[in-house]
Copies of this chain bind each other. A is one copy, B any other.
Amino acid sequence: MALTAKGRATRQRIVEGAAAHLRSDDPAGVTLDDIRAITGTSKGQIFHYFPDGKEELFLAVARYEADRVLDDQQPHLGALTSWPAWERWRDSVVARYRAQGRSCPLGALMSQVGSTPGATEVVSTLVGQWEAHIRLGIAEMQAAGLVRAGVDAGRTAAAFIAGIQGGVQLLRTTGSVGHLEAALDTLIDHLRG
Contact = CB atoms under 8 A, between A and B. Distances in A.
Nearest to A184: B159
B155 A182 contact: yes
Count this chain's copies in the assembly: 2
A52 interface: no
Size bracket, chain A contacts: 35 or more
B174 A159 contact: no
Interface in A93-128: 102, 110-112, 114-115, 119-120, 123-124, 127
B174 A166 contact: no
Interface in A1-58: 26, 28
27 contacts: A26-B114, A28-B114, A123-B173, A123-B174, A127-B170, A127-B174, A152-B186, A155-B182, A158-B178, A158-B179, A158-B183, A159-B163, A161-B170, A162-B163, A162-B179, A162-B180, A162-B182, A163-B166, A163-B183, A165-B165, A165-B167, A166-B167, A166-B168, A186-B187, A186-B190, A187-B190, A189-B190
